[in-house]
Amino acid sequence: MQLPAPIRTYFEAQPPQDAQALAAAFAPDAVVHDEHRAHRGPEEILAWWQAAKAQYRHRAEPLDLTQAAGKTVVRARVSGDFPGSPATLTFTFGLAGGRITDLEIR
């Protein structure tokens, strides 16, 4: 499966060494919606990502990719230190200019 470059960065990034690459994959006004919260801009998104990685020590393995309503939708198997692991989650990405503009995780 060929993931667009910023989405590939999102799924392959590992803390702490890839933190700046992950932040750079997001547009300046990007927003991430996860667990009923919104995280805005690369700095806030990076803080959210680092905290989630530290808390859950999770890894996401993309299973498939589709396009819907102008978005790139990736289903991924997520495993880590959380109840119900592993789980299949849906990551809905908005992309523009080679960066992630929005991401919703369900």
Global pTM reads 0.95
Helix/strand/coil (H, E, C) string of the chain? CCCCHHHHHHHHCCCCCCHHHHHHCEEEEEEEEECCEEEEHHHHHHHHHHHHHHHHCCEEEEEEEEEECCEEEEEEEEECCCCCCCEEEEEEEEEECCEEEEEEEC
Q: Give me the pLDDT at residue 29, please.
A: 98
d(C-alpha 40, C-alpha 23), whole Å: 11
- Considering the four listed CATH numbers 3.10.450.50, 1.20.120.1150, 3.30.2130.10, 2.40.30.110, the one that applies to the domain covering 5-105 is 3.10.450.50
Q: Give me the pLDDT at residue 52, please.
A: 95
pLDDT tens per residue across span 8-65: 999 999 999 999 999 999 999 999 999 999 999 999 999 999 999 999 999 999 999 9
Amino acid at 56: Y
